[in-house]
Amino acid sequence: MRMSMQNTPFNLASCIEFAGKYHSQQKVITRRVEDDKIVEHSYHDILLRVRQFANALKKLGVKHGECIGTIGLNTHRHLEAWYAISGQGAICHTINPRLAHHQLEYIINHADDQYILIDPIFWPLIEGLHKLFPNVKGYIVLTEEAFMPKTALPNVHCYETLLAAESAEFVWPEFDENSGSSLCYTSGTTGNPKGVLYTHKSNLIHSYACGLADVFGMTSADTVLVVVPLFHANSWGISYLGPIIGATIIFPGKRMDGEAIFELVDNYEVSLAAGVPTVWTALLEYADTHNKKMTSLRDVVVGGSAAPPSMLKAFKAKHDADLLHAWGMTEMSPLGTINRAVPQLKNMSEEEQFRYRIKQGRPVFGVDIKITDEDGKELPRDGKTVGHLLVKGNWVVHTYYGDDKPAVNAEGWFDTGDMATIDEFGYMEIVDRAKDLIKSGGEWISSVDMENKAMGHPDVSLAAAIGIPDEKWSERPLLVVVPKAGKTPDKQSIIDYLSSEFAKWQLPDDVVFVDEIPMTATGKFSKLTLRQQFSNHKIED
């Protein structure tokens, strides 16, 4: 049968080709990692640079299907590398620079990275570890000559020098759109990290879905602050969506403190921002302490770990911005759900609406979700019953990179490892990661609920709840708290504060005050480290 419609396989390079052609004036603005200087490039400039780098990679002998690692923060050069690598059929393997050394060794060798692109600030990592990566043919430092590290290693190239030698013409090859485009490993808190290989097609449809009005609702009039790293789960699709839509993108480089983020929001009139909760906690605290208001912000997307309800209230009341709570995973490209109000909420009291708005949200078309019991039987969507959260969809992992065995069950569902409820409107709420639930005397206590409530206490900046071993109850909750700057809350005031929402037996047995909470490589509380740190904790009266 003759095909009725054109069927050109999709190549992600077309996103940046389109941006260079039709959004040529819109910009990518970067705070450089080298010196924190701000540089601006139009999408047209970026496109030419992407093509130049694609030529450079070709000259280095990079082939279809080979992995090229990147160890970089959010900068225009990292974005260019994304497109140049995948566009020519190689796989852009984004690597989290904060991974432990043995994990870096594991994933770079597992992916069989042929070259590694790296920000100059991370170069010392390579000097220390390069012997562990015997198959890596060379390194490309994402900088200009003036900032090149001094090294005796052979095959170390300067990104800008490579670019300068190349033509800005490049013909993108045609290949199956189900070919791998990019590879991201989960942080692997237990066992080795697992790789998720996204394809040109899965990334495209994921990005289209992110662009829906009820998802990120991004337009060419938006200035979008991308705090979510390019090395973590596709930077939530924004680095494809931005060029497709023609939104101005701002990359914050290495400065993630409240002051630096505020400055970008304020100077560039950021309308949409995306990042993990700890970044927004720092931003809100900075704005509070310095009595500043963010007038341009419309939507702040938050995900990666649970956003405390107090954050939603603070953005609305003080900055008239909506906090959009989203949930996803590396295995899901990463978007699963996002919280936007359905019309039915309008008839409810503000308090009732709030109960729904703090949840992780409703699935986006392309993803289906369900909760099940231990035997895999589906549980009711009543907003109360807690079950294992399973997902299915066009941008959800099927098999981990290099594995033979599918990561999904016989019906194609992937078990997220999260425990959740789903309500009558389809809003999903994460109760906890299954392994972080605190099991006390046969009952469950949600560490997420406890942290969320504690972080609403006026003197608390961050709070993490963990279960510590207990002979009688098997586990009892311990709350680890970082007070706000200059505040010295006491244990009892925090327990009193929690007791409005928790039964007596659920209250933490102890509250310990610390200067900082250990974080995972992806910016989440490292419960594993906390559990080890406090495994012998004795309660002080």
Task: Give the C-alpha separation, 193 to 337, whole Å.
Answer: 24
Task: Give the C-alpha separation, 245 to 250, whole Å.
Answer: 15
331 labelled catalytic: yes
Task: Give the C-alpha separation, 511 to 495, whole Å.
Answer: 8
Q: Quick one: which of 329, 335, 419, 462 contacts ligand ADP (CB under 6 A)?
A: 329
Angle at 132 between CA 130 and CA 133, to 5 degrees: 70
Give every strand in the sheet of 180-185, ordered side by side: 156-158, 138-141, 113-118, 67-71, 91-94, 180-185, 195-199
Q: Is 82 in the site for ligand ADP (CB under 6 A)?
A: no
Q: Which of 177, 331, 429, 451 is catalytic?
A: 331
What does DSSP say about strands 138-141 and 335-338: parallel, antiparallel, or unpaired? Answer: unpaired
Nearest to 139 by CA among 122, 119, 157, 151: 157
Q: Quick one: which of 69, 120, 252, 303 contacts ligand ADP (CB under 6 A)?
A: 303
Q: Quick one: which of 55, 94, 522, 526 contacts ligand ADP (CB under 6 A)?
A: 522
Q: Is 304 in the site for ligand ADP (CB under 6 A)?
A: yes
Give 311 or 494: the residue with its C-beta nearer to ligand ADP. Answer: 311
Task: Give the C-alpha separation, 257 to 16, whole Å.
Answer: 30
DSSP state of 446: -
Q: Is 520 in the site for ligand ADP (CB under 6 A)?
A: yes
Min CB(452)–ligand ADP separation in Å: 10
Structure tokens at 54: 């694609």
105 labelled catalytic: no
Min CB(23)–ligand ADP separation in Å: 29
- The stretch near ligand ADP (CB under 6 A) out of 34-42, 300-308, 349-357, 454-462 is 300-308
- The stretch near ligand ADP (CB under 6 A) out of 71-79, 242-250, 412-420, 476-484 is 412-420
Q: What is the 3-state secondary structure (H, E, C) of 209-233?
A: HHCCCCCCCCCCCCEEEECCCCCCH
Is the CB of residue 275 less than 8 Å from the CB of residue 326?
Answer: no
Burial class (CB in 10 A: 0-12, 13-18, 19+), 451: buried
Min CB(282)–ligand ADP separation in Å: 18
Give 10 or 198: the residue with its C-beta nearer to ligand ADP. Answer: 198
Min CB(328)–ligand ADP separation in Å: 6
Structure tokens at 348: 């409810």
Q: Quick one: which of 70, 187, 235, 506 contacts ligand ADP (CB under 6 A)?
A: 187
Question: Helices 43-59 and 76-87 meet at what angle, rounded to 10?
Answer: 50
Give 281 or 416: the residue with its C-beta nearer to ligand ADP. Answer: 416
Give 247 or 306: the residue with its C-beta nearer to ligand ADP. Answer: 306
Q: Is 431 in the site for ligand ADP (CB under 6 A)?
A: no
Structure tokens at 308: 């405390």
370 labelled catalytic: no
**Helix, strand, coil: what percent of the chain each, to 5?**
30, 25, 40
Min CB(272)–ligand ADP separation in Å: 17
Q: Is 16 in the site for ligand ADP (CB under 6 A)?
A: no
Min CB(187)–ligand ADP separation in Å: 3
Q: Which of 439, 473, 475, 491 is catalytic?
A: 439
Q: Quick one: which of 32, 325, 370, 388 contacts ligand ADP (CB under 6 A)?
A: 325
Which residues, numbered 213-242, are part of the site for ligand ADP (CB under 6 A)?
Answer: 233
Which residue type sits at 3?
M
Q: Is 69 in the site for ligand ADP (CB under 6 A)?
A: no
Min CB(96)–ligand ADP separation in Å: 8
Give 90 or 462: the residue with its C-beta nearer to ligand ADP. Answer: 462
444 labelled catalytic: yes
Q: Is 327 in the site for ligand ADP (CB under 6 A)?
A: yes
- The stretch near ligand ADP (CB under 6 A) out of 115-123, 405-413, 485-493, 516-524 is 516-524
Q: Which of 70, 186, 278, 337 is catalytic?
A: 186
Nearest to 327 by CA among 370, 283, 284, 359: 359
Task: Give the C-alpha separation, 383 to 381, whole Å.
Answer: 6
Task: Give the C-alpha separation, 159 to 143, whole Å.
Answer: 6
Q: Is 418 in the site for ligand ADP (CB under 6 A)?
A: yes
- Cα 58–chain centre separation: 30
Q: Is 330 in the site for ligand ADP (CB under 6 A)?
A: yes
Q: Which of 58, 105, 161, 444 is catalytic?
A: 444
Q: Quick one: which of 67, 99, 244, 430 contacts ligand ADP (CB under 6 A)?
A: 430
58 CB neighbour count, 10 Å cutoff: 16
Total chain residues near ligand ADP (CB under 6 A): 23
Query: In this structure, what is the dihedral angle of CA atoms 204, 206, 208, 210, given to the nearest 10 degrees?
Result: -140
What residues make contact with ligand ADP under the rule CB under 6 A? 186-187, 233, 303-306, 325-330, 334, 360, 416-418, 430, 433, 520, 522, 524
Residues acting as catalytic residues: 186, 331, 439, 444
